[in-house]
Structure 1
Amino acid sequence: MAKFRISANMEFVKSADKSFVEGVNIASELGYKYVEPMVHTGWGLLSEVGYFHSFSMEEDPLLMKEICDEAGVKISSFSGHSPLMKPEAAVPRLTRAIQFANATGAKFVNSDEMLKPDWMNDKDAFEAMKYSLTKANMVAKRYGVYICIEPHGIYTKTAQGLLNIVNLVKSPNIAVNWDTGNSYLAGEEDPYEGLELVKSHVRHVHAKDISMNHSDKERGKVTGTPVGCACGEGVVDWERIIHILKPLDREIFFSVECGTIDEADRSIKFLKKVFGSDLIDD
């Protein structure tokens, strides 16, 4: 039977213009034992001046680990979203994120298909994605890391579309990161039926709730959203999600994706109650 761990996706400090170091320390103060950093290639201006939480993969991965160790938190996974239809960007980005995961003790790198160029047809898109995932999977297998694809784009807005991408490369290292908010907002199908369809592939969850106001404005009009409201304060049926995933024989991270520090505080308190004895809190 599944057991669950709670992590904080670092997006929760984005609205507060906090750096990676500040964000990690705030997560620790809120009681999070794990964080999911966002990583990027190159040198981002806002990150370099301490106004943004994303961590450059030009840095030493052990520097990231030292920062987390000092705050008393571990790294659950990486937000390594890469444009799968642009192999020249996706392959080096995913490769580096996988190496970062290995160096810091994480097992999951999360991504989605991202945007399809206007000039690209569906056939070419899937050939490009297959190339990107084939190359990245070679690295993931060496390091024992999972590449987890989430619902967030034009192809992954349905569960079958998500599986079509996951199954491009037959590998246990390519899995699903189920995003509870994106699957709901897409409005293409019942999100719980969608989860039932892909659950055997789920290794990681983005715990994203959607407020009623957000739902009224965007459901059926978008394929995803950066962050949601505090877990337990929106439309997501968390007990049903847990019931669907419970039969899986593995540990599953629920990485909270919300928009503010206060929402992250309320989210961890709510999820601890919902998980009860199924939570691994160490």
Structure 2
Amino acid sequence: MEYIKNASKGFQWGVEKAADLGYRYVEPMVHTGWDLLSEVNFFHSFSTEEDPLLMKEICDQAGVKVSSISGHSPLMKPEAAVPRLTQAIVFAAACGAKFVNTDDMDKPEWMEDDFAYTMMKYTLTKANFVAQRHKVYICIEPHGTFTCTSKGILSIVNLVPSPWIKINWDTGNFYLANFEDPYEGLERVKDYVVHIHAKDISQQHSEKERGVVTGTPVGCACGEGEIDWERIFKILDPLDREIFLSVECGQVDEAERSLAFLTKILGEKLID
């Protein structure tokens, strides 16, 4: 749903536009409380104060399904992350989705690493109780202090032994962070990957921010940047499970070109 960010439109408009473009699934972003821009349909995020079945109804009417919920929460800040994650899990379950995406985010300067891991373990322990009940995966994404290395993201995934804590692989974030080869990193964590943010990074963006940031809100159209998609799918191909690709770009036309590119390159691997 990030593809409509620059269009300054609301959730329902974005869902209907996704359907028009040919997408069969969307990944809604949720927020707690009330957001003025969303209330006046200038932003696509959906409040968890609303009825989750309203989200499902809007998607059903447009002919698309919810693949996952973008419930990004600072795992090191449990007072924010626990209610946000648990509400996102309930929304996912109500809409028939199996995944909620989140990440560690940035560690405060005053927080020691051991303390950060204690906070993240608490957050994930609480959220895991809800995930187990609703049978929804909590997917950790590379986009923060610890998650942008394969060792780091696995250390968080394994904080709480659970079949419901997995990985949402963000192709663009891991590439930009540049702590290790992005394809070797994916190879190391692939057994935990159940969801992917299909994000490409333009050459200009790469030259400006690679090695400087650990993540970015959106990328360019898939197939028009620095990501080697054929190599990514070669790594994932042996996995015997369905994996959702959630395109993450910033413009409607980029979403259209991304769908055309991914449809072409994946071919018969796409599930109808």
Provide TM-score, normalisation by structure 1.
Answer: 0.96
Matches of 1:116 and 1:181, distance apart in 2: 21
Amino acid at match of 1:41: T
Matches of 1:35 and 1:119, distance apart in 2: 37
Query: 1:136-157, CA deviations, whole angstroms, 9 ceiling, x for partnerless residues?
Result: 0111011110000010111111
Query: 1:117-164, CA deviations, whole angstroms, 9 ceiling, x for partnerless residues?
Result: 221111100000000001101110111100000101111111111101
Amino acid at match of 2:138: I
Matches of 2:231 and 2:21, distance apart in 1: 26
Query: 1:3-39, CA deviations, whole angstroms, 9 ceiling, x for partnerless residues?
Result: xxxxxxx000000101000000100000000000000
- The answer to whether 1:38 aligns with 2:29 is yes
Matches of 1:40 and 1:15, distance apart in 2: 19
Amino acid at match of 1:217: K
Per-residue deviation, 1:193: 0.2
Hey, what does 1:104 align to over in structure 2? Answer: 95
Per-residue deviation, 1:211: 0.4
Amino acid at match of 2:123: S
Hey, what does 2:84 align to over in structure 1? Answer: 93
- The answer to whether 1:136 aligns with 2:136 is no
- The answer to whether 1:169 aligns with 2:155 is no
Q: What is the correspondence of 1:142-153 to structure 2 with a 5 Å cutoff? A: 142-153=133-144
Which of residues 232, 254, 258 is equivalent to 2:245? 254
Per-residue deviation, 1:115: 2.2
Hey, what does 1:6 align to over in structure 2? Answer: none
Hey, what does 1:7 align to over in structure 2? Answer: none
Per-residue deviation, 1:238: 0.6
Which of residues 48, 62, 75 is equivalent to 1:57? 48
- The answer to whether 1:273 aligns with 2:264 is yes
Work out the percentage of aligned pairs sharing the same amino acid. 72
Amino acid at match of 1:21: Q
Amino acid at match of 1:20: F
Q: How many residues of Structure 1 are paired with residues of Structure 2 in the alignment?
A: 272
Per-residue deviation, 1:175: 0.2
Give the 3-state SS of the residue equivalent to 1:81 in structure 2. strand
Per-residue deviation, 1:75: 0.2
Which of residues 192, 197, 201 is equivalent to 2:183? 192
- The answer to whether 1:116 aligns with 2:85 is no
Hey, what does 2:67 align to over in structure 1? Answer: 76
Matches of 1:101 and 1:16, distance apart in 2: 25
Amino acid at match of 1:79: S
Give the 3-state SS of the residue equivalent to 1:189 in structure 2. coil
Amino acid at match of 2:110: W
Q: What is the correspondence of 1:11-50 to structure 2 with a 5 Å cutoff? A: 11-50=2-41
Amino acid at match of 1:186: A
Amino acid at match of 2:119: A
Give the 3-state SS of the residue equivalent to 1:210 in structure 2. coil
Provide TM-score, normalisation by structure 2.
Answer: 0.99
Q: CA RMSD in A?
A: 0.6
Hey, what does 1:216 align to over in structure 2? Answer: 207
Amino acid at match of 2:240: D
Which of residues 183, 206, 221 is equivalent to 2:174? 183
Matches of 1:239 and 1:105, distance apart in 2: 30
Query: 1:158-211, CA deviations, whole angstroms, 9 ceiling, x for partnerless residues?
Result: 111110110101111000000000010001110000000000000000000000
Amino acid at match of 2:82: V
Matches of 2:58 and 2:14, distance apart in 1: 11
Matches of 1:248 and 1:170, distance apart in 2: 21
Which 4+ residue blocks in structure 1 deviate beyond 4 angstroms? none
Hey, what does 1:5 align to over in structure 2? Answer: none
- The answer to whether 1:225 aligns with 2:186 is no
